[in-house]
């Protein structure tokens, strides 16, 4: 019996926790949290532990597939990898010859391994590398950039040492990052206070010292009220403000109307409770964290919720502080050399990006990084600024991730080629021309990734077992295409060729990863001195780029519309047992949670004759959505103006026998929602949609 522990990286969600895989005779027995990883305590979440069930599931694409029927009809022919590579490469070459290399669009799920995909796009000659983030954290990213000049991941949440944590639109105990969960629980044991601001009582609310159930859409107002109290009652860190905050007087003047009484009328939170909380919070400064949110593609002003959250942290002196939000160290900050980027194998494409991000009028304030893929779709439809005719959706299911499938499909109609690279079935894979099946995370290697933080590190995903089916790792997929598209440097036969290239000059070797699966680049945690990348070098209340694009740094607060009569705003989020839409069909996780329910306020439900666990139909108020039926979860712990559900259910594909027909898809309740996106923050505004509910 050959038994071994393989150190690798979880792939059940984009957090990518370090894992230890218990392998016997080429079979995975179990998966644990990597015991060497600080803060993980050897733990994984339920989804990570269900990795072997994904590996052993036969209901996933097992070989390359080429469409034979109409798009979405589900008629395929199986192909060998050579055939599939030839097919895709020939199409791509023809499109490049006719429309130029920029006619290829790529969207990615994000995470730590995008360098390879970006390199592939550069090698092809296209600038159109995007990720999924306009349906996720783009508002937070742009908020960080606008206030600090650096991105959201340039700050660390030092939860372990915090004395008061505020979770606003952030479900830290169910939308899981295992280390963060452990750190928060340790901090709580050491006396850290917890405040939750949400439209319903989630799990963190059950452990909170202060819980505020705010009227949906009023978070910006809530934060302006908090700033009002912090400033007027001189609860801020004067030294930090004097040294580091530019525009304090402008902020002071702006927040004057937001008295506790005003905030009470808007949010429903009592003026006294608000004042008590703010004093409690300020007492713990600077060891405080006001979380700016993660999935904030919710309202037209969610960007401003995150901006004001960052400003509150700054006024508390929490930026750069232990137990607050210290600056993340990059590899270079601890005197080491970073990984050699694979993108540098090819020159930067000359054409501007199709989404207009960073250059087009009204879009110059956006991060020139991975951009806004929903705007690139508009370029497919309009042909402006130039035609986009091929699209590779890598580890991305836009048909489930964006509102309004019909609208998205329509925008894709002019594509000559749509490729889905995925390890499970998804609506996007089902609608693709070619499905390139990826090996699960237990069956593949990835390129080496680098992680910043207080102690930067490199980490490596290793193959724990051989693939069960005819699937490939992503490096094998892009190497296969690179060989046929004349991109020599990526046309490798072994992953070591890429690893060696990445590690050149770093002083780290491939063998160094054997001991723990990662290599730490500093002996002890480093708290970096505070420095901002804004033009003034300070925290900026007024952002010149926003103003130049005709947008406001501090827009007037607009009271959110009340839902139409007998209707509710749709609200959604995550649960601990599933990742987005792609684990519902996982045999183990499905058993634990086969469908979603609809949280509805008790008083409202009573008036509508709906009892707990009754079947209800939920339908969009705007025409064009797809109604669905699910059970009502009747509770006083959800705001009466909204109903809430867990995202990712309501699958329809015949190839997913378990998930099919179970629960309801929230994004199908948002017709027209694809077009509602925030000009300032860049993300779609998914909670600006209303639904009706009736007992069936």
Ligand X SMILES: Nc1nc2c(c(=O)[nH]1)N[C@H]1C(S)=C(S)[C@@H](COP(=O)(O)OP(=O)(O)OC[C@H]3O[C@@H](n4cnc5c(=O)[nH]c(N)nc54)[C@H](O)[C@@H]3O)O[C@H]1N2
| Positions in the binding site for ligand X (CB under 6 A) | 11, 13-14, 109, 132, 135-137, 168-171, 174-176, 197-200, 202, 214, 216, 219, 293-295, 298, 394-397, 401, 421-424, 426, 438, 441, 571-574, 576, 578-582, 644, 647, 666-667, 686
Concatenated DSSP letters of 431-465:
T-SEEEEBPPGGG-----EEE-BSS-EEE-----S
Rounded to whole angstroms, the Cα distance separating 228 from 315 reads 11
Which residue, judged by CB position, is nearest to Mo ion in the bound state?
Answer: 136
User: Torsions phi, psi of 432, nearest 5?
Assistant: -80, 170
**Partner interacting with residue 472 (select from Mo ion, ligand SF4, ligand X, none; CB below 5-8 Å by kind):** none
Which partner, ligand SF4, Mo ion, ligand X, none, binds residue 197 by CB below 5 to 8 Å per kind?
A: ligand X
Question: Which region among 11-19, 239-247, 321-329, 504-512 touches ligand SF4 (by CB under 6 A)?
Answer: 11-19
Q: What Å distances lie between residue 480 and 306, 439, 473, 579, CA to CA?
A: 42, 15, 11, 29
Does 136 participate in binding Mo ion (rule CB under 5 A)?
yes
Q: What is the DSSP letter of 341?
A: P
- Which residue is listed with tokens 């669009």? 105
Give which of Mo ion, ligand SF4, ligand X, none residue 151 binds (C-beta under 5 to 8 Å, depending on kind).
none
Pick the closer one to Mo ion by CB: 136 or 415.
136
Binding span for ligand SF4 by CB under 6 A among 40-48, 152-160, 254-262, 416-424: 40-48
Least separation in angstroms between residue 405's CB and ligand SF4 is 26
| Tokens, residue 24 | 């016997």
Q: How far is the CB of 304 from Mo ion (least distance, A)?
A: 20
> According to the binding rule CB under 6 A, does residue 17 interact with ligand SF4?
yes
Question: For residues 281 and 278, what is the distance between their CA atoms, to the nearest angstrom?
Answer: 5
Q: Are 615 and 695 in contact (CB under 8 A)?
A: yes
Say how far apart CA 127 and CA 629 lie, in whole Å.
43
Which of 6, 28, 45, 435 forms a contact with ligand SF4 (CB under 6 A)? Answer: 45
List, in sequence order, every beta strand (DSSP E) within 594-678.
597-601, 615-620, 628-635, 642-646
The reply on whether position 12 binds ligand SF4 by CB under 6 A is yes
The count of residues interacting with Mo ion (CB under 5 A) is 1
- 392 three-state secondary structure: strand
Q: Residue 621, interface with Mo ion (CB under 5 A)? A: no
Q: Looking at beta carbons only, is 96 or 647 nearer to ligand X?
A: 647
Q: Which does 557 bind (CB under 5 to 8 A by kind): ligand SF4, ligand X, Mo ion, none?
A: none
β-bridge mates for residue 458, sequence order = 450, 519
Least distance to Mo ion from the beta carbon of 299, Å?
A: 16
CA 658 to chain centre: 26
CB nearer to Mo ion: pick between 136 and 554: 136
| Residue 48 engages ligand SF4 in binding (rule: CB under 6 A) | yes
Please report which residue ranges of 56-165 form alpha helices under DSSP H: 81-99, 115-124, 138-148
Q: Could you tell me which of 420, 471, 409, 427 has the C-alpha nearest to residue 656? A: 427
Q: Which is nearer to Mo ion, 136 or 373 (CB)?
A: 136
Closer Cβ to ligand X, 543 or 667, answer by number: 667
**Phi, psi angle pair for 15, to nearest 5°:** -70, -40
User: Length of the chain in residues, anyone?
Assistant: 696
Contact residues: ligand SF4, CB under 6 A: 10, 12-13, 15-17, 44-45, 47-48, 176-178
């Amino acid at each position: 019996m050959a038994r071994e522990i393989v150190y690798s990286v979880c792939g059940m969600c984009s957090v990518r926790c370090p894992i230890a895989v218990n392998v016997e005779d080429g079979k995975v027995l179990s998966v644990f949290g990597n015991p060497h990883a600080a803060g993980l305590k050897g733990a994984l979440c339920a989804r990570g532990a269900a990795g072997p069930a994904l590996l052993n599931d036969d209901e996933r694409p097992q070989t390359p597939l080429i469409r034979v029927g109409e798009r979405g009809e589900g008629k395929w022919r199986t192909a060998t990898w050579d055939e599939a590579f030839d097919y895709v490469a020939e199409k791509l070459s023809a499109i490049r010859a006719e429309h130029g290399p920029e006619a290829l669009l790529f969207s990615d799920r994000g995470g730590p391994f995008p360098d390879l995909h970006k390199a592939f796009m550069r090698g092809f000659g296209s600038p159109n590398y995007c990720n999924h983030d306009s349906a996720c954290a783009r508002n937070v990213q742009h908020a960080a950039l606008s206030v600090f000049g650096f991105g959201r991941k340039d700050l660390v949440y030092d939860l372990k040492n915090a004395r008061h944590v505020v979770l606003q639109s952030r479900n830290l105990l169910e939308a899981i990052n295992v280390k963060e969960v452990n750190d928060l629980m340790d901090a709580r044991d050491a006396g850290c206070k917890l405040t939750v601001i949400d439209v319903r009582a989630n799990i963190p609310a059950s452990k909170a010292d202060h819980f505020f159930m705010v009227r949906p859409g009023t978070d910006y107002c809530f934060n302006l009220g908090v700033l009002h109290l912090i400033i007027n009652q001189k609860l801020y860190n004067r030294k930090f403000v004097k040294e580091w905050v530019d525009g304090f007087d402008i902020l002071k003047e702006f927040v004057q109307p937001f008295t506790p009484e005003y905030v009470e009328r808007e949010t429903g939170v009592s003026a006294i409770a608000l004042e008590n909380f703010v004093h409690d919070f300020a007492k713990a400064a600077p060891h405080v964290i006001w979380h700016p949110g993660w999935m904030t593609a919710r309202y037209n002003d969610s960007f401003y919720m995150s901006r004001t959250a960052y400003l509150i942290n700054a006024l508390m002196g929490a930026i750069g502080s232990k137990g607050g939000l210290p600056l993340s160290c990059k590899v270079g900050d601890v005197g080491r050399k970073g990984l050699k980027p694979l993108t540098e194998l090819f020159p930067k494409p000359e054409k501007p990006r199709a989404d207009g991000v960073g250059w087009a009028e009204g879009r110059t304030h956006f991060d020139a990084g991975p951009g806004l893929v929903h705007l690139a779709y508009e370029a497919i439809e309009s042909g402006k600024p130039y035609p986009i005719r091929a699209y590779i959706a890598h580890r991305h299911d836009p048909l489930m991730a964006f509102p309004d499938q019909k609208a998205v499909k329509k925008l894709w109609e002019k594509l000559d080629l749509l490729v889905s690279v995925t390890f499970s079935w998804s609506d996007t894979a089902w609608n693709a021309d070619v499905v390139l099946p990826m090996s699960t995370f237990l069956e593949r290697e990835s390129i080496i990734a680098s992680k910043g933080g207080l102690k930067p590190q490199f980490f490596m995903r290793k193959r724990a077992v051989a693939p069960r089916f005819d699937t490939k790792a992503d490096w094998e997929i892009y190497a296969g295409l690179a060989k046929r598209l004349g991109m020599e440097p990526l046309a490798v036969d072994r992953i070591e060729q890429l690893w060696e290239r990445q590690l050149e000059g770093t002083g780290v070797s491939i063998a160094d990863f054997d001991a723990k699966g990662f290599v730490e680049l500093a002996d002890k945690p480093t708290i970096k001195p505070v420095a901002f990348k804004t033009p003034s070098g300070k925290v900026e209340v007024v952002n010149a780029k926003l103003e130049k694009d005709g947008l406001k740094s501090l827009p007037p607060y607009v009271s959110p519309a009340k839902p139409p009569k007998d209707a509710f705003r749709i609200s959604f989020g995550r649960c601990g047992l599933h990742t987005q839409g792609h684990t519902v069909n996982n045999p183990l996780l499905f058993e634990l949670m086969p469908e979603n329910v609809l949280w509805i306020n008790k008083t409202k439900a009573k008036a509508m004759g709906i009892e707990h666990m009754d079947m209800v139909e939920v339908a969009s108020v705007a025409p064009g959505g797809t109604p669905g039926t699910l059970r009502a979860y009747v509770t006083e712990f959800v705001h009466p103006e909204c109903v809430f559900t867990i995202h990712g259910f309501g699958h329809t594909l015949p190839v997913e026998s378990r998930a099919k027909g179970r629960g309801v898809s929230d994004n199908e309740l948002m017709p027209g929602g694809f077009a509602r996106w925030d000009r300032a923050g860049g993300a779609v505004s998914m909670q600006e949609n209303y639904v009706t509910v009736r007992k069936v």
